[in-house]
Amino acid sequence: MFNVKFSVVIPTCDRPLLLEETLRSVFLQIVPAYEIIIIDNGNNQIDIKSLNEDERIRYIRALPRFGVAQARNMGICLSTGDYMAFLDDDDIWDTSYLEEVANVINAKGASILLGSLKTLETGELMQSKSQPVKSLQHFKCELLRRNPV
């Protein structure tokens, strides 16, 4: 049983076709997202008529070129779920992604999880930018300082 409420935060910037594919991967999740927050900081506003078909979607128009970090932070402030799941507008999830995350949360009580990336062409894991975690404090500092994945 999955009682985890995921707020999916998707920053986007002038890539409506990629965003459609990204959203499709969220809609196909075995464990559904509780809410989907799209922060649009592009120069051209996305046609939101098609986005209004799903009541879980909240579309927020931010300042153009607001920045991806600021867009994610805005999504954090607006989220109401138990956990935030970040997804860029040019990435997609396997259908079991949120299910696997929920399984780890339920089994281990995890507060933070980092995933890995696979290339679509080969399915191989991409090289990580992360370094070994020395301590929880070190991890928190690194997480705030740079993108570890």
Kindly state whether residues 56 and 38 are assigned to the same domain.
yes
* Domain membership flag for residue 62: yes
Q: In what order do the strands lie in the sheet with 6-12?
A: 57-61, 35-40, 6-12, 83-86
Same structural domain for residues 106 and 123? no
Average model confidence (pLDDT) for the chain?
83
Name the residue with higher pLDDT: 24 or 45: 24
Q: Are residues 12 and 40 in the same domain?
A: yes
pLDDT per residue over 30-47, tens digit each? Answer: 999 999 999 999 888 777
In a domain, residue 1? The reply is no
| Residues 70, 15 within the same domain | yes
Provide the residue range defining the domain that includes 137. 114-149
Domain tally for the chain?
2
Whether the Cβ atoms of residue 41 and residue 14 lie closer than 8 Å to each other: no
pLDDT of residue 64: 77
**pLDDT at residue 66 in the model:** 81
Segment 65-101, tens digit of pLDDT? 788 889 999 999 999 999 999 999 999 999 999 999 9
Residues 119 and 97 in one domain: no
Q: Are 14 and 43 in contact (CB under 8 A)?
A: yes
Phi, psi (degrees; rounded to nearest 5) at 37? -110, 115
Whether residue 130 lies inside any domain: the answer is: yes
